[in-house]
Amino acid sequence: MKSTCIVAGNWKMNKSNQDGKSFVSEIQKRILDKGNAKVIFCPPFTSLFTIVDTLKSSDFSVGAQNVHNELKGAYTGEISVNMLNSIGVEYAIIGHSDRRHTFGELDDFINKKIITTSKSNVIPIFCIGETLDQRKSGLTGKILKDQIELGLKNIDNINPEKFILAYEPVWAIGTGETASTLQVEEAHLKIKTNLETLFGSKGLDVPIIYGGSVNEKNAESLINIDGVNGFLIGGASLEIDSFCNIVNIVKNF
Ligand code: PGA
């Protein structure tokens, strides 16, 4: 049995407040036994309060898709970790590929967000991953190492119970193209080694989840891979059947 099996659904910019509420209510009815799975819904900011409230008597968790590094001030359009905490949000995705590649977020900014979040009660889901060009040029290992070292700069201690790392190859996100077993296994091993170098045995215990076109068909083979502690799911997290099926697959591992 794996120690942790996380199933996090990243809804991105999808679902209205009402749609999100009906969606999680239905999932709550369907998934009565989560077994070994930790299920996290990451709706848009507008639905966070409603989803936390809808799930308040359950052990489903809620995460934000982003967070700012400052705690308050003139940061129009941004949300602080204290704001998330004050409404019961337990997780925040940081450094997602969409943020890095569509909104130009750099490692330094991501690092600041991780530092602030690590000092709070909100658990970071720190995303890293290489582009197709980087993979083709044999740079995957270097890119992952750089993203880990820069994203976790000036962090001396890591609490594996309060930190999640998501490996999401950029070329596999939203493309229907999943990384192969070998590619996932190698990447997760490299990430583990980097975390061990930085944080010793605690680094080895950090859960590493995979993201990139995970669906109900490939979930079983992916969760069987050594070093995979769950998934960050985009497209397939938006459909009740596929999301429930993935949770049902993962909960037995
Ligand atoms: P996908 O997205 O499952 O649609 O590939 C994953 C993600 O963006 O986290």
Domains of the chain, each with CATH number or no CATH: 5-250 (3.20.20.70)
- Examine the pLDDT at 85 and tell me if it is beyond 80: yes
Candidate from 175, 214, 215, 239 with most ligand 1 atoms within 8 A of CB, to mutate: 214
Mean pLDDT confidence for 104-110: 98
Distance 74 CA to ligand 1 centre (A): 31
The pLDDT tens digits of the residues spanning 116-136 come to: 999 999 999 999 999 999 999
What is the model's pLDDT at position 1?
A: 66
**What's the Cα-to-Cα distance from 79 to each of 14, 113, 121, 244, rounded to whole Å?**
18, 11, 15, 30
Mean pLDDT of the chain, nearest integer? 96
Least confident range of 176-180, 194-198, 244-248: 176-180
Distance 135 CA to ligand 1 centre (A): 18
- The three-state secondary structure class of 110 is helix
- Examine the pLDDT at 3 and tell me if it is beyond 80: no
DSSP codes of every residue in 192-213: HHHHHHHHTHHHHTS-EEEESS
Phi, psi angle pair for 170, to nearest 5° = -55, -40
Residue owning the nearest CA to atom 2 of ligand 1: 234
The pLDDT tens digits of the residues spanning 9-27 come to: 999 999 999 999 999 999 9
- Examine the pLDDT at 150 and tell me if it is beyond 80: yes
What is the model's pLDDT at position 193?
A: 98
- Examine the pLDDT at 36 and tell me if it is beyond 90: no
User: Which residues participate in catalysis according to the annotation?
Assistant: 96, 168
Q: Copy the structure tokens of residue 163.
A: 């930190």
Candidate from 126, 232, 237 with most ligand 1 atoms within 8 A of CB, to mutate: 232
234 lines ligand 1 (CB under 6 A): yes
CB 96, CB 109: distance < 8 Å: no
63 lines ligand 1 (CB under 6 A): no
Distance 100 CA to ligand 1 centre (A): 14
What is the atom index within ligand 1 of the atom nearest the CA of 215? 3
What is the atom index within ligand 1 of the atom nearest the CA of 236? 3
Residue owning the nearest CA to atom 3 of ligand 1: 234
**What's the Cα-to-Cα distance from 214 to each of 72, 184, 195, rounded to whole Å?**
36, 12, 24
Radius of gyration of the chain (CA): 17
The pLDDT tens digits of the residues spanning 190-239 come to: 999 999 999 999 999 999 999 999 999 999 999 999 999 999 999 999 99
Distance 156 CA to ligand 1 centre (A): 30
What is the atom index within ligand 1 of the atom nearest the CA of 235? 4
Residue owning the nearest CA to atom 1 of ligand 1: 234
- Examine the pLDDT at 252 and tell me if it is beyond 90: no
Distance 73 CA to ligand 1 centre (A): 32
What is the atom index within ligand 1 of the atom nearest the CA of 233? 3
